């Protein structure tokens, strides 16, 4: 379903900024009860593809939000006069003013009464949003089912948007859309619009062009999305899709049938993936849900990027400390049936459980008579699990000692390094090991490297060059002539 959700931008659907009640993934989290000293919480306002810290407070049973955070995010100038405790807000050449502890909003056309007074708290002005937004030509809508406040422009497309402040070039790059795809889907010339705001393009794309870009007539598009009869070829796309429900969106653009799901099942997966409560139904407007989806995906991506950066920094430190861990070694010798010999060292300070397991198996003659059953020239040779007749020999599994399994192991998979084979289960390695013929960076941190061949690298190369086949059991890269391990000795 994650892959399905990534298609959201394909038709340049319009969205708005919601204020979600008691939803951690929302832009501004609100509730209807509480005390100013206890209910202030860290919240998020998404603007210009950045997460901006914000707060909500409850005062006189009214929800107030930070004026500067919201208004600056929609391009307004905010000026504070500490002597008069006045805030001047200017947007598109229009200035309105409010005073702390006064419920009167001063506008060019006269005074307007707000439903509660703005207050100053923690050096931040908090105010009710409806009167201010409406003075700037924005509309404030309330959806009782989802307890969502939606702020939109007169054209029906958002100013406060996940992509607000982003150009078409930035937005299309984010979702992997090519210039040609953008032009095809919207009917807008990419070169003309690439440096314009995404939301501007969303408003200027016509419904007819979007329909054609998605390979259908406008009437077909109106039918599957249940668009208003008033929608014409020239209707801005942002206006046309303002009332699209989740059910219509899923059915029209996600095509759940190709995944073997009904519309209801697909919606349940969306609800589960994004922690949507039962108040969200197939009749809920898609615009109320999209911000949750985009917000959570953005936060997840941000968290993943931060985790990857932290891991990269930790790996760099571990790599610098690795030489000291390689000083303590245990010698081993692999003797093949044809008399070839490979000698190496094991690193118990790098992968102690893996080394212990390998040593115990070798001392108990587990590997005697087994074969290198998988050989890929230029990559690695793998053995320790089958005899010459391809009968499997099993051992108990051990914990996987590598980064992807939460265990530090900075040993790289370079030529001659010995590592443990496993299935997709990180703790499934048992007896099978592989020896690198060439370096393979993609294995680093994902498999438990635990030693290295120090003499006999030419034997690895000789084994890598043998003729291989797919055997009668369906195993690939099997040497035609068995490469048999006579013994593995320790010391």
Q: How many CB atoms neighbour CB 464 within 10 A?
A: 19
Domain count along the chain? 2
The answer to whether the CB of 464 falls within 8 A of the CB of 453 is no
Count of H-run helices and E-run strands, the chain:
15, 23
As a whole number of angstroms, the longest Cα–Cα distance in the chain is: 100
Find the CATH number of the domain harbouring 434.
2.40.100.10
Write down the pTM of the prediction: 0.54
Of the three residues 108, 135, 155, the one that is the final residue of a domain is 155
Model confidence pLDDT, tens digit, residues 282-321: 988 776 676 567 667 767 777 888 899 999 999 999 999 9
Q: Quick one: 435 exposed, middle or buried, by C-beta within 10 A (0-12, 13-18, 19+)?
A: buried
Q: Quick one: 38 exposed, middle or buried, by C-beta within 10 A (0-12, 13-18, 19+)?
A: exposed
Classify 96 as helix, strand or coil: strand
Find the CATH number of the domain harbouring 79.
3.30.457.10
How far is residue 73's CA from residue 447's CA, in Å, rounded to a whole number? Answer: 46
Is 188 inside a domain boundary? Answer: no
Is 223 inside a domain boundary? Answer: no
Q: How many CB atoms neighbour CB 339 within 10 A?
A: 7
Is 184 inside a domain boundary? Answer: no
Enclosing domain of residue 343? 330-490
Supply angle C-alpha 227, 275, 156, rounded to 5: 30
- Distances, alpha carbon 283 to alpha carbons 146, 248, 267, 403, 437, in Å: 11, 8, 11, 45, 59
Q: Quick one: 244 exposed, middle or buried, by C-beta within 10 A (0-12, 13-18, 19+)?
A: buried
pLDDT at residue 290, as a whole number: 67
Q: Per-residue confidence of the chain (491 residues) as pLDDT tens digits?
A: 333 333 333 333 333 333 332 222 223 322 222 343 333 332 333 333 333 344 566 666 666 777 887 777 666 788 899 889 999 998 777 899 999 989 999 999 999 998 888 888 778 888 887 888 888 877 666 555 544 455 555 543 333 344 545 678 887 887 778 999 888 888 889 999 898 877 667 667 888 988 888 888 999 888 888 888 889 998 877 677 767 888 888 887 788 888 899 999 999 998 888 888 787 889 887 766 765 676 677 677 778 888 999 999 999 999 999 999 999 999 999 999 999 999 999 999 999 999 999 999 999 999 999 999 999 999 999 999 999 999 999 999 999 999 999 999 999 999 999 999 999 999 999 999 999 999 999 999 999 999 999 999 999 999 999 999 999 999 999 999 999 999 999 99
How far is residue 389's CA from residue 231's CA, in Å, rounded to a whole number? Answer: 72
Is 194 inside a domain boundary? Answer: no
Interhelix angle 179-186/168-175, nearest 10 degrees: 110
Is 262 inside a domain boundary? Answer: no
Tokens of 92: 């598109």
pLDDT at residue 122, as a whole number: 76
Model confidence pLDDT, tens digit, residues 158-186: 333 445 456 788 878 877 789 998 888 88
Is 310 inside a domain boundary? Answer: no
Of the three residues 109, 130, 155, the one that is the final residue of a domain is 155
Of the three residues 121, 155, 189, the one that is the final residue of a domain is 155
Is 90 inside a domain boundary? Answer: yes
pLDDT at residue 60, as a whole number: 65
Q: Which has the closest alpha carbon to 412: 450, 375, 358?
A: 450
Is 128 inside a domain boundary? Answer: yes
């Amino acid at each position: 379903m994650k892959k399905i959700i990534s298609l959201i931008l394909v038709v340049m659907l319009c969205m708005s900024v919601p204020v979600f009640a008691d939803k951690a993934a929302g832009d501004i989290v609100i509730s209807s009860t509480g005390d100013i000293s206890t209910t202030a919480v860290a919240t998020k306002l998404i603007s210009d593809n950045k997460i901006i810290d914000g707060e909500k407070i409850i005062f006189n049973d009214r929800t107030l939000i930070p004026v500067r955070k919201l208004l600056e995010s929609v391009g307004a100038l905010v000026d504070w006069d500490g002597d008069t405790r006045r805030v001047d807000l200017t947007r598109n050449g229009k200035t309105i003013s409010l005073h702390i502890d006064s419920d009167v909003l001063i506008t060019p056309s006269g005074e307007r009464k707000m439903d509660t007074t703005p207050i100053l708290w923690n050096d931040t002005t908090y105010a009710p949003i409806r009167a201010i937004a409406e003075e700037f030509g924005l509309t404030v809508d309330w959806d009782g089912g989802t307890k969502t406040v939606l702020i939109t422009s007169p054209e029906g497309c958002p100013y406060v948007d996940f992509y607000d402040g982003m150009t078409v070039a930035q937005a299309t790059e984010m979702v992997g859309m090519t210039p040609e795809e953008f032009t095809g889907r919207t009917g807008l010339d990419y070169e003309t619009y690439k440096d314009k705001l995404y939301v501007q393009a969303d408003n200027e794309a016509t419904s007819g062009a979007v329909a054609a870009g998605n390979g259908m007539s406008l009437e077909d598009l109106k039918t599957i999305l249940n668009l208003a009869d008033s929608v014409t070829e020239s209707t801005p796309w942002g206006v046309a899709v303002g009332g699209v429900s989740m059910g219509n969106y899923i059915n029209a653009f996600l095509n759940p049938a190709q995944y073997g799901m009904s519309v209801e099942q697909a919606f349940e997966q969306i609800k589960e993936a994004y922690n949507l409560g039962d108040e969200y139904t197939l009749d809920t407007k898609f615009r109320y849900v999209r911000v949750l989806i985009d917000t959570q995906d953005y936060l997840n991506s941000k968290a993943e990027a931060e985790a990857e950066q932290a891991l990269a920094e930790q790996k760099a430190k571990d790599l610098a400390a690795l030489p000291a861990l390689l000083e303590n070694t245990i010698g081993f010798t692999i003797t093949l049936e044809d008399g070839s010999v490979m000698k190496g060292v094991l690193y118990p300070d790098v992968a102690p459980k893996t080394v212990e397991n390998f040593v115990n198996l070798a001392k108990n003659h587990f590997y005697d008579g087994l074969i290198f059953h998988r050989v890929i020239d230029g990559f690695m040779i793998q053995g320790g699990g089958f005899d010459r007749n391809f009968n499997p020999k099993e051992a108990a599994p051990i914990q996987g000692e590598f980064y992807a399994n939460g265990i530090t192991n900075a040993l790289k998979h370079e030529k001659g390094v010995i590592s443990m084979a496993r299935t997709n289960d990180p703790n499934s390695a048992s007896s099978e090991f592989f020896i690198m013929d060439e370096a393979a960076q993609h294995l680093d941190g994902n498999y438990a490297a635990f030693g290295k061949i120090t003499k006999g690298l030419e034997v690895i190369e000789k084994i890598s060059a043998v003729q291989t086949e797919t055997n009668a059991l369906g195993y690939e890269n099997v040497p035609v002539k068995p490469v048999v391990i006579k013994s593995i000795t320790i010391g």
